[in-house]
Amino acid sequence: MDSNKLWILSLCLLVMVLGTKATAPKKPVDVPFGKNYVPTWAFDHIKYFNGGSEIQLLLDNYTGTGFQSKGSYLFGHFSMQMKLVPGDSAGTVTAFYLSSQNSEHDEIDFEFLGNRSGQPYILQTNVFTGGKGDREQRIYLWFDPTKNYHSYSVLWNLYIIAFFVDDVPIRVFKNCKDLRVKFPFDQPMKIYSSLWNADDWATRGGLEKTNWAKAPFNAAYKGFHIDGCEASVEAKFCATQGKRWWDQKEFQDLDAVQYRRLKWVRDKYTIYNYCVDRKRYPVMPPECVRDRDV
């Protein structure tokens, strides 16, 4: 066997071993903050490093802060590399989410709920469609999110909303319009992030309060990746719909290996799933039929 054939065979075997598609084409991670984002409030509570390729949000007993994307997007792949508030972060919430502007809004949420020192962070995800939310799922992360940067991503197309942590799928919300469940498809969303005080609910249901003696709290960001169809707020469809990578068949659902990873997260790290909360929902919400595919 010549060297070229051997190389091709080795590559094929590697693909078979890895057994999974990429969640998106690889992108540079040093996109500067100012290319796609602007501060929204408390500008003096945002610090810039490395020419704006890295920032920190600060929270003290006066205010938190936040930022948003310059554009609005209808479908795509959106990610942040984040390093969360270290130490005693009880009462704080670091959020990364997409949201439309109307009263019956659509929203896709990552919310990182702080905790007392030594206790694990809780990552809460939620999906709002047509103004209806209450679809919380909560997991413990399998690493310390305060020590190093980790990537948190959303893939959103006409078929699924998929949440990823370091390319590991942690949740999939499928288009269930056939079950009369609304799905985000005609309201462009901006991307937001914020660090704020929510000690009335964030840690143990509000039992643990923010220790302001530990302030200021800070969360760090880099890798401000946006790959989406930019649209006006009046848009009802994406002009490039069907032509972008996230519309292609391989991204319309997870593959078998990704589902196995999702099941691993579900089995080992999920601490709350509204789909199985019979006290709150005596009748299972219709979209949860698809959630049980895991």
Residue 107 annotated among the catalytic residues of the structure: yes
Q: Which residues of the chain have a pLDDT value below 50? A: 3-20, 22, 28
Question: pTM for the full model?
Answer: 0.89
Select 25-291's CATH number: 2.60.40.10, 1.10.1740.10, 2.30.30.830, 2.60.120.200: 2.60.120.200
Q: Which tokens is 254 given?
A: 């997870």
From CA 36, how far away is CA 226, in angstroms rounded?
Answer: 8
Residue that has been written with the tokens 């909303």 in this structure: 161
Q: Of 47, 69, 39, which is closest to residue 219 (Cα–Cα)?
A: 47
For 198, half-sphere exposure in the C-beta direction (CA atoms, 13 angstrom radius) is 17
pLDDT in the model for residue 182? 95
Distances (CA, A) of 84 to 3, 14, 61, 92, 170: 47, 34, 18, 10, 18
Catalytic entry in 111, 208, 230, 287: 111
Beta bridge partners of 48: 55
Residue 111 annotated among the catalytic residues of the structure: yes
Span 242-288, pLDDT tens digits: 788 999 999 999 999 999 999 999 999 999 999 999 999 999 999 99
Helix H or strand E segment including 288: helix 288-291
From CA 170, how far away is CA 165, in angstroms rounded?
Answer: 7
% of the chain beyond a pLDDT of 90: 76
Q: Across the chain, how many H-helices and E-strands are there?
A: 4, 15
Domain residue spans in the chain?
25-291
Catalytic entry in 54, 104, 107, 234: 107
